Amino acid sequence: MGGYGWMGVMGIIMPLIFGIAIILLSFYMFRRNSSEVYTNGLSKQNTGLDILRERYARGEVDSTEYQSRKQDLEDK
């Protein structure tokens, strides 16, 4: 060990650990930001009429309520 003991080993290992941590952190941040951009782009495309259609397809609104709300949305 040349008289340095653990300090010599830690001098080699610590930069490797920090380097790997920086790479993993940057990878995590890149993946997180890219997924947020993708989902934000999709959510902005959903109009009120699209949401109403989805609710009608799931059976949350009946036919008369669907027609009424659809007319309201188309008038705006």
Instruction: Write down the domain spans for the chain.
Output: 17-75
Across the chain, what does the average pLDDT equal? 80
28-37 pLDDT, tens per residue? Answer: 888 876 655 5
Q: What is the DSSP letter of 1?
A: -
The mean pLDDT of 64-73, rounded to a whole number, is 92
42-67 pLDDT, tens per residue? Answer: 555 668 888 899 999 999 999 999 99
Helix (H/G/I), strand (E/B), else coil: 76: coil
DSSP annotation string for 2-69: TT-THHHHHHHHHHHHHHHHHHHHHHHHHHHHHHHHHHHHHHHH--HHHHHHHHHHHTSS-HHHHHHH
7-41 pLDDT, tens per residue? Answer: 777 888 889 999 999 999 998 888 876 655 555 54
